[in-house]
Amino acid sequence: KKEGKKVQLQGEIQLLKRELTARQKTFGIELYDLLTNDKQTLLGVTAGTLFKGQSNNDGIKEPLERAREDIAGLQAKKDIKQKDLDVLEVKGAHTLPDYTLGQKATKAGAAVKNGAKGTKLQAEMALLDRDMKIRKEQFGIQVFDA
């Protein structure tokens, strides 16, 4: 009977640990978005000035700067892929009318190729979004323990 209670308590502890980690991750996403929000930039408050004159903020400032650098790199990659996708869409929209069957076949092949390329770019952008979310979650865990 004691062994069963012990296993039950261990299971409850694991569930609570998992819940704590999930809350830390959510906290990281929300805190990161709050600290890097464009509204703060408009008000003249940036992450660097937000922590000025405070001595107890080292637990947040350094992880925030590392997270900002990582996420900025991921965002730059996403922006490049978005530009490539925009170019594909413009290419597909601006074509001359077809006069021969050969032209139609060539354009159909190019349209399928561009469609596949566009789908690939969208999938890669979704992965980059996921990576940014994961990085924000890691930030939350780092800061929560600080």
Q: Regarding predicted confidence, which is higher, 50 or 107?
A: 107
Tell me what the mean pLDDT of segment 98-104 comes to.
77
Residue 47 to residue 87: CA distance in whole angstroms: 34
pLDDT mean across residues, the chain: 84
CB atoms within 10 A of CB 36: 17
**Taking 90 as the threshold, does the pLDDT of residue 104 lie above it?**
no
Q: Model's pTM, two decimal places?
A: 0.72
pLDDT band at 99 (very low <50, low <70, confident <90, very high): confident
**Taking 80 as the threshold, does the pLDDT of residue 70 lie above it?**
yes
- Render 34-64 in DSSP notation, one character per residue: HHT-HHHHHTT--HHHHTTT-STTHHHHHHH
